[in-house]
Amino acid sequence: MTTRAGLVFAAAAAAAVLAGCTGTPAPPASTPPASTTVPAPATQAPTARPGQSATDAATEPRLVRQLELELDTPWATVFLPDGTAVISERDSALLKSVKDGRASTIGEVPGVVPGGEGGLLGLAVSPGFATDRYLYAYFTAATDNRIARIPLTAAPDGRLTAGTPEVIFSGISKASTHNGGRIRFGPDGMLYVGTGDSQRRDQPQDPEALGGKILRLTPDGSPAPGNPFGNNPVYSLGHRNVQGLAWDREGRLWASEFGPTVDDELNLITPGGNYGWPDVTGAPGRSPFIDAKVVWPDTAESSPSGLEIVGTTAYLGALRGQRLWTVKLDGESAGQPVSYFTREHGRLRDVALAPTGELWVLSNGQNPDFALIVDPAG
C-alpha cells in the first residue's frame, strides 16, 4: 500500500506525559523530511493576520454563546431528528437531553463501570431513528468495552426516557486508559467504531484483535459486508487510541488519534489501512504504514478528541491543548492547522454539528462542564 507524507507542524516534541492518555511511548520513528515541516500555527485574532485575506478572517469560527448545562465530564453529543441534543456523561453513566438550552436526565445506562478514561463514552443515533428510536452507546463494563442500543421513548410533552439497553457488540479490551470510544454511522449506514489499544501493544497490528482499530459493523452489531478482512469487524488497524470520526463531503473517512508523548494525528482512513502503532507514529514515510495527514509533534498543543467536518474544514477539540483546531481539507490533503479559543475554556472533548449548522463543543473538567455554541463560518 502506498504511503502518503503527512503534514507535520510545530517545534520539537515536549517530553511530557499526555494528560488523559497515558502509555509507553513508541520506539523513535524516523525524522520526517524537512520539507514536511511548517511553522507553528497562528492563534485567533479579531482581524486578518499577516498573509490572510479579509475573507478568510471573516470565516473564522465565532463563539455564539455558552450553555451552562451543569454537566459532569460529558463525552459525546448527538442530535435527534427534532434537534434535541443528547449528551453522555462518562463517570455518572447518565444520558442528558438538551432542549431550549436546558439539560434533563433521560436515564442511567446500566452496567457502566467508570474508571480512568473508561465509562459512558460515544453515542450515535440510528439512521432509522424515526421508526426504531435507537440510540447507540459505547461504554466500559466490568470486563470489556461494549456497544449497546437503547430505545428512547417520548412522553406527550416531549420528555425523553431511555429504555433497557441491548448489547450488540462486546469483547473490546479495556484498561484505565486507551479505551477509544467514538462511534458514528457512516454514509453507508454502517456503524464505525474507534477503539484504543488498552495498553496492549500487541493488539493494534493483529487483525484478529479488536483493540487499536476502527471497526465497521452493521446496525445489529455484525461485521459489515465488504470489510477488508472478510467476516471480521476490523476496517483499519495500527491505531493507538482513536477519538474522533468524521466524513468529508466526498465520503472519505477521517479520524483523530492520541499519540504517546509525541505525534498526535489526523488520519485519512482507507479500508485495510495500517497506521503504524506501535511501530511508528506520525508521518515517517515508512512502508507499509500509512502516514498521518497532520501530526502534532508536541502533544501539549493538542490531544485531539472529537472531530467534525463542515464543508472543507475539519474541526477538532483539544484536551491537553485546550483549544479548537481547524484544518482545511483539499481532497486527500490537509492544510496547516490553526487554533482558536486557546486556553479560554479549558479541555475540549467533543465537537458535533447541530441541525442549525452550529457546532457544539463540550468542555471537560471545568466542574461543572458546559457546551460552547460556535458558528463555524464566523
Angle at 112 between CA 109 and CA 114, to 5 degrees: 130
Residues 6+ apart with CB under 8 A from 198: 145, 172, 173, 174, 175, 178, 179, 211
Q: Three cell numbers at 23?
A: 502509555
Cα–Cα distance between 242 and 195 in angstroms, integer? Answer: 6
Residues 6+ apart with CB under 8 A from 279: 26, 27, 205, 238, 286, 289
Is residue 178 part of the annotated active site? The answer reads yes
Residues 6+ apart with CB under 8 A from 102: 69
Cα–Cα distance between 94 and 55 in angstroms, integer? Answer: 42
Q: Three cell numbers at 294?
A: 497532520
DSSP-assigned letter for residue 6: P
What is the helix (H) or strand (E) element at residue 102, kind and residue range? strand 102-108
What is the helix (H) or strand (E) element at residue 129, kind and residue range? helix 129-132
Between the CA atoms of 99, 104, 107 and 113, what dihedral angle is there, to the nearest 10 degrees? 110
- For residue 111, how many other CB atoms are within 10 A of its CB? 14
**Letter string b/e over residues 296-333, b meaning 16 or more CB atoms within 10 A of that residue's CB:** bbbbbbbbbbbbbbbeebbbbbbbbbbbbbbbebeeee
Is the peptide bond between 288 and the residue preceding it cis, with omega within 30 degrees of 0?
yes
Q: Are 266 and 239 in contact (CB under 8 A)?
A: no
Which listed residue (178, 213, 239, 323) is catalytic? Answer: 178
Active site residues: 178
